[in-house]
Structure 1
Amino acid sequence: MFDADLKDIQGNSVSLKKEIQEKDKLYVLSFWATWCAPCLSELESINDVYQDWKKELNVEVVAISTDDSRTISRVKPLINGKDWDFTVFLDTNNDLKRKLGFQSVPYLIIVKNGEIIYTQNGYVPNSETLLLEKMKKL
């Protein structure tokens, strides 16, 4: 199981491993940045269907910002202006991004029982429908 020390939106340290350890639960980790329009579109689309997902599956969405020191100050105001119903963490040093080996956002992974079981690079409108179908099979 991979781990990383992240920050929550209040600046408190959190261990990703501890946050995503419930047995047989699907965790959708969506990596994004404030300057990334496709990322924001993806998160808005996921938020629109998140309650439906939770009715059908044991799933939790975690949005992980990859904003660096130049743009991190934009995260909290952006989050406060959204009605997102999921947890937001900050990977300001990109430690987790480096561990996972991806280069660009949006990047999405699904984790179950500590293992990455699906990855998606980039965002295509309406892909949340395909994502739900994929999760039902996992």
Structure 2
Amino acid sequence: MKLSKSQISNLAFILVIAVLLIPQTRKPIQIFLNKGMALISPSLESKEKLTVLKSYDWKLQDEAGHVFDFEQTKGKVVLINFWATWCPPCIAEMPSLQSLYNDYHNQVEFLFVTTDWYSEINPFLEQNNYTFKAYRPLKNESELFDVSTIPRTFLIDRNGNIIIDESGAANWNSNKVRTTIDGLLKQ
């Protein structure tokens, strides 16, 4: 029996839908597609749209139970990434964030914030050889940053100006981001 072009197209469409519905194949495909999107550098906020942090009243907790007071970041360049271990766009952009962290962790305050449990976080970090520390919020982060989707990343200057506010996967290890951070560190 010979199949027509429309029958082949229909079968291909059904196959693609089936592959995307199966959890074991869906997540790797989503990560792969998001890695393509994560090749794009995040955009800088225009000077007219810059927002300034109104408060530093936010506490995070690491796995050991140590509390990090966001107040400690005043006067520092800060990169905050809201993510999750189950989030394909988060997973896609994480290698570029790790590369940025490798080069700037002594100069920039990196805060990787998730609501996942450490029983999920630690195997994820270990499996991917990520060396940054993950935090869980003690207070709802949306009060300070209005995070309704992940990944969401903020780059904040020493004066509390949000220089980058990016939702979705991005290339954080780009020349554009590095040049921006270098400029903020010189201020």
Give the TM-score normalised by structure 1: 0.73
Instruction: Give the structure with the larger helix fraction.
Output: 2
Secondary structure in 2 aligned to 1:38? Answer: helix
Q: Deviations over 1:56-100 (max 9, x none)?
A: xx3232211133xxx56412332333432323211266x113421
2:149 maps to: 104
The aligned amino acid for 1:64 is V
Q: Does 1:41 align with 2:92?
A: yes
Give identity over the alignment, percent.
23
Shift of 1:109: 0.7
Tell me whether 4-13 or 77-86 shows the greater mean CA deviation.
77-86
Shift of 1:52: 3.2
1:28 maps to: 79
Which of 62, 67, 76 in structure 1 is aligned with 2:111?
A: 62
Secondary structure in 2 aligned to 1:14? Answer: strand
1:86 maps to: 132
Shift of 1:17: 1.9
Give the TM-score normalised by structure 2: 0.57
Which of 152, 158, 161 in structure 2 is aligned with 1:113?
A: 158
2:63 maps to: 9
Distance 2:64 2:126 in 1: 12
Query: What runs of 5+ residues in structure 2 fail to find an aligned partner?
Result: 1-54
What is the CA RMSD across the aligned residues, in angstroms?
2.6
Distance 1:76 1:114 in 2: 33
Query: What runs of 5+ residues in structure 1 fail to find an aligned partner?
Result: none
Distance 2:79 2:120 in 1: 23
Shift of 1:36: 0.7
Instruction: Give the structure with the larger strand fraction.
Output: 1
Distance 1:108 1:121 in 2: 7
